[in-house]
Structure 1
Amino acid sequence: MSTDWEDVKRLAADFQRTQLSETLLRLSERNCVEIMKRLIEMKLLDVIFTSDGKEYITEEHLLREIEDELFSAGGRISLTDLVTALNVDYIQIEAKANHLSRTSAGDVSLVLGQLVSRQYKDSMAQEVDLKLQETGIITIAELTKQYDLSADFIDTVIAERLGTIIKGKADVNDSRIIVTNDYLSQYQSKVTGVLSAVTRPVPLNTVINRYKFSESIFNSIVNELIASKRLSGSLSGRTYIPEIYAKTQLEYIENFYKLNGYLDYSTLSRLGIANAQTYLQKRFGDELCYLNSCAVGQMLNFQVESSIEECILNNSWVDLVPVMPTILSESDVNILITKTLEQNKNLSEPTIVLCDTIVVSKAFIAKIEEIFVPLMNKKATEDLNSGLLLTIFAAQKAAKLDSIVDDKRSESGGKGQKKGAKKGGGGGGGGGGGGGAGSQGREVKTKAVKKKYKPGAKVTAKDDSDDESQNEITFKNVDELIEILEKNISNADECPPEFIKDIALYIEATLRDKYETIARNVFISSASASTAKAKKSFADVQKNINQIYCNILMFDRGIKILTNDELQTQLTKYLLRSLCSEVVNQLIIHFSSEDISSIATPEVRLKFISKLDPNLKECITRLNTSLNAKSVDDFCNELETT
Structure 2
Amino acid sequence: MANWSDIRNLAEQLKRVQAAESANCLSDRICVDIVSYLINSGRLQIYRTNDGRTLLTKTELFKEIIEELDAHRGRISLLELADNLEVEHAVVEFHVHEMLSNLQDFYDEQCVLIAGELITKSYIRRIAEEIRDRLEFRGVMTVTDFARSYNLTPQFLLSIINDYNGTLFQIQQDGDRLCTQVFISNQKAKVYGYLSAVVTPISVADCAAKLDIPQKVFTVIIESLISGGKIKGSLIAGKNVFIPTCYQRSQDKYIDDFLKQNGYIEWTIVQRIGIPDPSSYLRQRFPSAIHTKEFTINESVVSQIKSVLEDKSPDTHWIDVSSYLPQVFGAQEREWLIKPLIKNSDYVPVDGYMYLYPAIRLAEHVSCFDDYIREQATAAALDRKKRVGGKVSGGSAAKNEESITRAVDRNKAKTGGVGSRAREIKTKNVKKKYLKKNADIEEDDNQSNINVDSYLPRENLLSLLSAAVGAKAPEDLVECLLDQLLPQIYESFLSLVKSVFLQTADSSKNRDRCLAEKDSLVSTILSIQLLERGSLAVDDVNLRTQLIRQLLRSEVSTFVNRLYLLFAQNYDIEWPKQTKEGEEISPSEITIQLRDSLASIASKMADGSVKEAASLLQQINACLRANAEISDSNGLPLDEVFFLSDDLASCHLGINLSMSLLRTGASKRKREDRLLALEIANQTEEQMVAAARSDDDNYLASVTLAGTALFAQCIAGCPVPVHGKLVPQIAAWITKKLAKPSSNSAPYASAINLLRERKACDKLNRLTEIVMLEAKHHGGESGVSEEEKRSLVDELVTVASGCIKALQSGSPTPTA
Q: Does TM-score exceed 0.5, indicating one fold?
A: yes
Aligned to 2:730: none
Q: How far is 1:184 from its partner? A: 2.5
Q: What SS does the corresponding residue of 2:113 show, helix, strand or coil?
A: strand
Q: 1:274 aligns with which of 273, 276, 279?
A: 276
1:134 matched to which residue of 2?
137
2:236–2:243 Cα contact (<8 Å) kept: yes
CA contact (8 A) 1:203 1:240 kept: yes
- Cα pair 1:289 1:295 within 8 Å, conserved: yes
CA gap of 1:459–1:272, structure 2 versus 1, over 3 A, is closer
Measure the CA separation in 2 of the matches of 1:195 and 1:149: 40
Alpha-carbon distance in structure 1 between the residues aligned to 2:387 and 2:360: 31
Equivalent position of 1:33 in the other structure: 32
Q: Counterpart of 1:346 in 2: which secondary structure?
A: coil
3-state secondary structure, aligned to 2:26: coil
**In 1, are the aligned partners of 2:350 and 2:480 still within 8 Å (CA)?**
no
Query: Which position in structure 2 is the counterpart of 1:437?
Result: none
Structure 1 residues 223-622: aligned runs within 5 Å: 223-237=223-237, 238-285=240-287, 287-306=288-307, 308=309, 317-326=318-327, 328-330=328-330, 334-343=332-341, 345-347=343-345, 349-355=346-352, 357-363=354-360, 365-367=362-364, 369-370=366-367, 373-374=370-371, 376-377=373-374, 380-381=377-378, 384-385=381-382, 386=384, 415-418=403-406, 459-460=436-437, 476=452, 488-490=464-466, 495-496=475-476, 506-507=484-485, 509-511=487-489, 513-515=491-493, 517-518=495-496, 521-522=499-500, 525=503, 530-531=507-508
Structure 1's unaligned 5+ residue stretches are 1-15, 395-411, 422-454, 536-642
Distance 1:379 1:46, change over 3 A: farther
Give deviations 1:497-554, integer Å, cap 9, x for gaps. Answer: xx78865664555455545654555466556x8359999xxxxxxxxxxxxxxxxxxx
Relative to structure 1, the CA distance from residue 471 to residue 98 in structure 2 (aligned partners, 3 Å threshold; closer, same or farther) is: farther
C-alpha separation in 1, matches of 2:359 and 2:300 = 26
| TM-score (normalised: structure 1) | 0.58
Higher RCO, 1 vs 2 (CA within 8 Å, ≥6 residues apart): 2
Aligned residues: 454
Shift of 1:256: 3.5
Aligned residue identity for 2:359: K
Question: What code does the residue aligned with 2:339 have?
Answer: L
SS at match of 1:342: coil
Aligned to 2:340, what secondary structure does the other structure show? helix
**1:74-113 alignment runs, 5 A limit:** 74-104=73-103, 107-113=110-116
Q: Structure 1's 418 and 225: CA in aligned 2 closer, same or farther, altered over 3 A? A: same
Q: Does the aligned pair in 2 maintain the 1:389–1:523 contact within 8 Å?
A: no
SS of alignment partner, residue 200 of structure 1: coil
2:570 — aligned with what? none
One-letter code of the match for 1:341? K
Q: Is residue 383–residue 389 contact of structure 1 (8 Å, CA) maintained in 2? A: no
SS at match of 1:199: coil
Q: The residue matched to 1:230 in structure 2 has which SS?
A: coil
Report SS of the residue matched to 1:258: helix
Q: How far apart are the structure 1 equivalents of 2:50 and 2:401?
A: 114
Equivalent residue number for residue 214 of structure 2: 214
Distance 1:417 1:459, change over 3 A: farther
Give the letter aligned to residue 530 of structure 1: S
Q: Is the 8 A contact 1:262 1:296 kept in 2?
A: yes
Relative to structure 1, the CA distance from residue 352 to residue 41 in structure 2 (aligned partners, 3 Å threshold; closer, same or farther) is: same
Does structure 2 retain, via aligned residues, the 8 Å contact 1:353–1:359?
Answer: yes
**Partner Cα separation in structure 2 for residue 126 and residue 185 of structure 1:** 22
| C-alpha distance in structure 2 between counterparts of 1:244 and 1:458, whole Å | 80
- Identical pairs, percent: 22
More helix by share: 1
Is the contact made by 2:465 and 2:482 (CA closer than 8 Å) also made in structure 1?
no
Cα shift at 1:152 = 2.4
Structure 2 equivalent of residue 197 of structure 1: 197
CA RMSD of aligned residues (A): 4.9
Name the CA distance, whole Å, in 2 between partners of 1:123 and 1:475: 108
Quote the residue 2:66 is aligned against: 67
Residue aligned with 2:344, SS: helix
Indicate how the Cα distance of structure 1 residues 122 and 314 shifts in structure 2: closer, same or farther if over 3 A, else same: same
Q: Report the Cα offset of residue 216 of structure 1.
A: 1.3
Q: Deviations over 1:146-179 (max 9, x none)?
A: 33322222111112222443x32335xx486543
Q: Report the Cα distance in structure 2 between the residues aligned to 1:321 and 1:194, rounded to whole angstroms.
A: 51
CA distances 1:96-138 after superposition (whole Å, capped 9, x unpaired): 4444444448822222232222122111111111111112233
Q: Secondary structure at the match of 1:272?
A: coil
Where do 5+ consecutive residues of structure 2 fail to align?
Answer: 1-13, 393-399, 410-431, 513-816
Contact 2:292 2:336 in 1 (8 A): no
Is the 1:132–1:180 contact (alpha carbons within 8 Å) kept by the matching residues of 2?
yes
Query: Which 10-residue stretch deviates more, 380-389 or 239-248?
Result: 380-389
CA distance in 2, matches of 1:58, 1:505: 116
Distance in 1 between residues matched to 2:26 and 2:377, nearest whole Å:
145
CA deviations on 1:304-354 (whole Å, 9 max, x unpaired) are: 33455679966755553454234x3315xx33543343155333x531354
**Aligned equivalents of 1:32 and 1:104: distance in 2?**
35
Q: 1:219 Cα deviation (Å)? A: 0.8
Shift in Å, 1:249? 3.5
Q: What is the rounded CA distance, in whole Å, between the counterparts of 1:479 and 1:162 in structure 2?
A: 99
Cα 1:160–1:373, aligned 2, differ >3 Å: closer, same or farther? same
Query: What is residue 119 of structure 2 aligned with on the other side?
Result: 116
Q: Distance in 1 between matches of 2:435 and 2:265?
A: 70
Is the counterpart of residue 162 in structure 1 residue 139 in structure 2? Answer: no
Give the secondary-structure state (helix, strand or coil) at the position aligned to 2:69: helix
Contact preservation (8 Å) 1:121, 1:157: yes
Match in the other structure for 2:187: 187
The amino acid across from 1:261 in the alignment is G
Q: Secondary structure of 2:507's partner?
A: helix
- Indicate the residue corresponding to 2:147 in structure 1: 144
Query: Are residues 417 and 322 of structure 1, via their aligned partners in 2, closer, same or farther at CA, if it must alter by over 3 Å?
Result: farther
Instruction: Quote how far apart the aligned CAs of 1:355 are.
Output: 2.5
- 1:559 maps to none
Aligned counterpart, 1:561: none
Structure 2 residue identity aligned to 1:82: L
CA distance 1:87–1:277, shift in 2 (3 Å):
same
Query: How many angstroms does 1:51 deviate by?
Result: 5.4
What's the offset of the Cα at 1:215? 1.3
Q: Which deviations, in whole Å up to 9, do the C-alpha atoms of 1:575-600 show, x marking residues without a partner?
A: xxxxxxxxxxxxxxxxxxxxxxxxxx
Deviations 1:232-291 (A, max 9, x none): 222233222223333344334334433333333344344432323322222222x21123
Q: In 2, Cα distance between the equivalents of 1:480 and 1:62?
A: 123
Aligned pair in 2 of structure 1 residues 51, 508: CA closer, same or farther (>3 Å)?
farther
Give, in whole Å, the separation in 1 of the partners of 2:50 and 2:375.
125
Distance in 2 between the 1:460 and 1:233 partners? Answer: 85
Separation (CA, whole Å) in 1 of partners of 2:445 and 2:58: 108
Q: CA deviation at 1:489?
A: 4.8
Give the residue type in structure 1 aligned to 2:242: Y
